[in-house]
């Protein structure tokens, strides 16, 4: 076991899969000579050549469509979106074509679309969005968002080996900020399986991505020392691991969902509904959510901090549930 950053873990997973399977190749803007905007693919071009590491024009609709076609012919393309906000330019190719090929004629589309997303870097409304619910609402797609280096490596490898299209979100605020132990050998983290990161008995907190680290930070604060929190990291947004969530809520009888996506129609709404549908009789208090607010993401540091769910917001939500 070695300590790797979140970025290094993704990079190692990609390298191992390209070496393992000759059908795997990568394409995207500036991923070759430049090594990508965050240097995830630095050195890949020199090691694997231009046929497997392809620099594309600035045309998401074009190279995503190209990748879907390559996947239908049996290759395993990995598309990097330079900032995930720009995936909107290729939205039609993903949701109206790649997601529906298996349903329409039984065709596999072993495609991964990955790249940086998320706020906290003062990058403004066009480089900071959380887009998971765009794709989590589309049957035929799998949507994952790892929060730790171990899961980042295991999920990118699982995504590349999957025969369905997978949207793989990388929170850019975690790239070099988070470190963790990662095995050098081959392993995968199964898509569709959440993880109980910390066991507790008073309240279940469901979260994912960068918010996992904020939640773990908050529950260690002195003023919450008397509360036993169970923390569930979704890891996969769709398909949602309902079983793990329900089992946890049945144990604690309380639910808080924390995510960076905006509040209205965010993942918290679906999670809350499933808990109310399958575990309503176990609840001791109404479920609560701590999320970003329903505005575009500000570039101003003060406003962006207000936009995101804060430590104070999460603590207030926990107390609200327990005081009910």
From the list 127, 137, 213, 259, the catalytic residue is 127
Beta-strand (E) ranges in the chain?
A: 2-5, 24-28, 53-55, 76-80, 112-117, 142-144, 166-171, 179-182, 195-198, 203-207, 229-233, 236-238, 255-262, 288-292
Q: Is 127 a catalytic residue?
A: yes
Please, which contacts does 298-302 make with residues 24 or more away whose CB atoms are closer than 8 Å? Answer: 298/124, 298/125, 299/122, 299/123, 299/124, 299/125, 300/122, 301/122
Could you tell me if 116 and 171 are in contact, meaning their C-beta atoms sit under 8 angstroms apart?
yes
CA distance 153 to 27: 19
Instruction: Provide the strand spans (E) within 183-235.
Output: 195-198, 203-207, 229-233
Helices (H), 21-59: 44-48
Integer angstrom CA distances of residue 230 from 215, 224, 285: 11, 13, 16
Report residue 198 CA to chain centroid gap: 19
245 touches 232 (CB < 8 A): yes
* Residues 108, 59: Cα–Cα separation, whole Å: 24
As annotated, the active-site residues are 127
């Amino acid at each position: 076991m070695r300590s790797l950053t979140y970025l290094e873990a993704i990079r190692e997973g990609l390298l191992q899969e390209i070496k393992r399977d000759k059908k795997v190749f990568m394409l995207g803007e500036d991923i070759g000579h430049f090594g990508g905007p965050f240097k995830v693919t630095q050195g890949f071009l020199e090691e694997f050549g231009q046929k497997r590491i392809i620099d594309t024009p600035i045309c998401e609709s074009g190279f995503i469509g190209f990748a879907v076609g390559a996947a239908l012919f049996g290759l395993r393309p990995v598309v990097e979106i330079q900032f995930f906000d720009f995936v909107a330019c290729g939205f039609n190719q993903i949701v109206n074509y790649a997601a529906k090929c298996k349903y329409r004629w039984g065709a596999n589309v072993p495609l991964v679309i990955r790249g940086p997303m998320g706020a906290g870097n003062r990058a403004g409304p066009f480089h900071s969005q959380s887009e998971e619910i765009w794709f989590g609402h589309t049957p035929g797609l799998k949507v994952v968002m790892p929060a730790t280096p171990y899961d980042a490596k295991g999920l990118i490898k699982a995504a590349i080996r999957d025969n369905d299209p997978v949207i793989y979100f990388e929170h850019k605020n975690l790239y070099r900020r988070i470190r963790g132990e990662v095995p050098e050998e081959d392993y995968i983290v199964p898509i569709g399986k959440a993880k109980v990161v910390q066991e507790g008995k008073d309240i279940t907190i469901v979260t994912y991505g960068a918010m996992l680290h904020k939640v773990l930070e908050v529950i260690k604060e002195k003023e919450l020392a008397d509360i036993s929190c169970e923390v569930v990291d979704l890891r996969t947004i769709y398909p949602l691991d309902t079983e793990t969530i329900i089992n946890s809520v049945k144990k604690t009888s309380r639910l808080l969902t924390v995510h960076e996506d905006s509040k209205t129609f965010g993942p918290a709404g679906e999670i809350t509904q499933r808990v109310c549908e399958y575990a309503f009789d176990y609840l001791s208090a109404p479920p609560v959510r701590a999320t970003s607010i329903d505005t575009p993401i500000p570039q101003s540091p003060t406003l962006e901090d207000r936009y995101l769910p804060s430590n104070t917001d999460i603590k207030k939500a926990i107390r609200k549930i327990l005081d009910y």
